[in-house]
């Protein structure tokens, strides 16, 4: 979730909203990231993502840097439109996936952007209407013609046939069907959601809508804002009797799940951090070694020059510093005298340079 700076509007009109979704659609497809739920509110947005081969931080950096330029140019303003960094909570899939999908898709109703569920069913700025098939899916990068359904019947090969006619000429199973292999990831994501509710599209959509309807009276859900077992149980401790205190109270506002899940995530995170920092060298030493290796004067590296050698050195330094040694992008930015956004772009260029692990190892032995 991210808010506009000083809670100002991020989306002033439908063009802003459409621009946001168009870019998000491209990013999701290119990074193979699944978006199960989304909602655009005038001064903030919500996304429920399952990351693929690309880290969440890189997905969100692309999501938040691109629209800033477009938004400022369109509305003749300057400065960052977002309020600080985005807020993220890592969630335990079972039992939270469907709960969070419902919670996010009900945001426009809670914000009084629509009056009731019937209006929400056709509201274009949340993923709810696309799941129901009432509107084309705006996150589909290659969008269908206007007026067409976002969920094409022929794409849902995992659903059982709904009519007698279909039974006489059943579709091929998913693993035998070439069109299914070409299904866009965003459409596959909608299918994944609906398969939780039924074996046919018609039944699944009806049950999904009823599930959303049942959540209208629940209002705000503080228990869906991260924490351990107590918060995950909505504050009800009756189900935690007999557990050790340290287990029942284990929690972290950045993680939504059981105490065991929270502990596992924190341990994994700590191990990753320790691995990155165990043999970490100082930024000054890294900059000096890379500059020497490419025969570049350090003053040129930190100047405003934009030649190929400077660009290469900055990419190498940024990538190694952030991805291999665990330095913050802000620290790298200060050392190289460039912006944080500039470091992000350098890291992306560095990733292309070090496209294989053996290349990184070979380069590290040289410096």
Top pLDDT among 281 and 104 is at 104
* 205 and 244 both lie in a single domain: no
Q: Give residue for tokens 């999701």.
A: 28
| Residue 93 confidence (pLDDT) above 50 | yes
Top pLDDT among 88 and 194 is at 194
* 18 and 86 both lie in a single domain: yes
End-of-domain residue from the set 209, 244, 276: 276
* 230 and 112 both lie in a single domain: no
* 106 and 56 both lie in a single domain: yes
Least confident of 36-40, 129-133, 307-311, 355-359: 355-359
Distance CA 122, CA 128 (A): 8
Least confident of 43-47, 123-127, 231-235, 255-259: 231-235
Full residue range of the structural domain in which residue 316 is found: 279-366
pLDDT > 90 in the chain, percent: 29
Question: Looking at residues 275-279, what average pLDDT do you find?
Answer: 56
Q: First vs last Cα of the chain: how many Å apart?
A: 40
Q: How far is CA 361 from CA 38, 252, 287, in A?
A: 40, 35, 17
Which residue spans within 239-297 are E strands per DSSP?
A: 255-256
Least confident of 43-52, 181-190, 337-346: 181-190
pLDDT at 111: 92
Q: What is the pTM of this model?
A: 0.61
Top pLDDT among 51 and 65 is at 51
| Residue 173 confidence (pLDDT) above 70 | no
Distance CA 209, CA 264 (A): 34
pLDDT digits (tens, 9 = 90+) for 194-245: 999 998 999 999 999 999 999 998 766 665 654 444 444 444 444 444 445 4
| Residue 165 confidence (pLDDT) above 60 | no
* 134 and 174 both lie in a single domain: yes
| Residue 171 confidence (pLDDT) above 70 | no
* 168 and 29 both lie in a single domain: yes
Q: 27 in helix, strand or coil?
A: helix
Distance CA 83, CA 90 (A): 20
* 295 and 335 both lie in a single domain: yes
Least confident of 125-129, 173-177, 189-193, 278-282: 173-177
Token pair recorded at residue 30: 């290119």
pLDDT at 253: 57
* 168 and 270 both lie in a single domain: no
Q: How far is CA 197 from CA 106, 136, 150, 190, in A?
A: 18, 21, 18, 12
Question: Looking at residues 161-187, what average pLDDT do you find?
Answer: 55
- Chain centre to alpha carbon of residue 277: 26
* 265 and 320 both lie in a single domain: no
Total domain count for the chain? 3
Distance CA 287, CA 169 (A): 66
Token pair recorded at residue 163: 């009519």
């Amino acid at each position: 979730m991210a808010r506009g700076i000083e809670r100002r509007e991020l989306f002033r009109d439908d063009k802003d909203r459409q621009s946001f979704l168009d870019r998000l659609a491209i990013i999701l497809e290119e990074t193979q990231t699944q978006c199960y739920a989304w909602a655009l509110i005038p001064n903030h947005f919500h996304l429920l993502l399952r990351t693929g081969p690309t880290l969440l931080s890189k997905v969100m950096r692309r999501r938040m840097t691109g629209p800033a330029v477009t938004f400022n140019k369109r509305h003749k303003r300057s400065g960052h439109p977002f309020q600080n960094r985005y807020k993220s909570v890592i969630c335990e899939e079972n039992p939270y996936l469907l709960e969070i999908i419902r919670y996010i898709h009900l945001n426009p109703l809670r914000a009084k952007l629509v009056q009731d569920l019937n209006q929400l069913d056709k509201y274009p700025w949340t993923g709810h209407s696309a799941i129901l098939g009432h509107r084309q899916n705006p996150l589909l990068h290659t969008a269908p013609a206007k007026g067409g359904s976002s969920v094409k019947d022929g794409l849902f090969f995992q659903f059982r046939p709904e009519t007698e006619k279909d039974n006489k000429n059943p579709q091929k199973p998913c693993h035998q069907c070439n069109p299914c292999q070409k299904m866009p990831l965003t459409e596959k994501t909608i299918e994944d959601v609906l398969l939780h509710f039924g074996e046919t599209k018609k039944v699944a959509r009806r049950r999904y809508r009823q599930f959303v309807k049942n959540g209208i009276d629940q209002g705000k859900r503080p228990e869906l804002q991260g924490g351990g077992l107590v918060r995950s149980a909505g504050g009800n401790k009756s189900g935690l009797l007999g557990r050790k205190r340290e287990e029942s109270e284990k929690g972290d506002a950045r993680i939504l799940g059981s105490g065991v899940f929270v502990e596992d995530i924190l341990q994994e995170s700590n191990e990753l951090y320790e691995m990155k920092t165990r043999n970490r060298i100082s930024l000054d030493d890294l900059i000096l070694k890379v500059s020497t290796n490419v025969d570049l004067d350090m003053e040129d590296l930190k100047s405003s020059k934009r030649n190929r050698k400077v660009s290469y050195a900055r990419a190498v330094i940024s990538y190694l510093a952030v991805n291999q040694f665990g330095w913050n992008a802000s620290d790298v930015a200060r050392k190289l005298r460039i912006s944080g956004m500039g470091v992000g772009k350098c890291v992306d260029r560095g990733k292309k340079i070090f496209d294989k692990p053996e290349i990184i190892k070979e380069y590290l032995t040289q410096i």
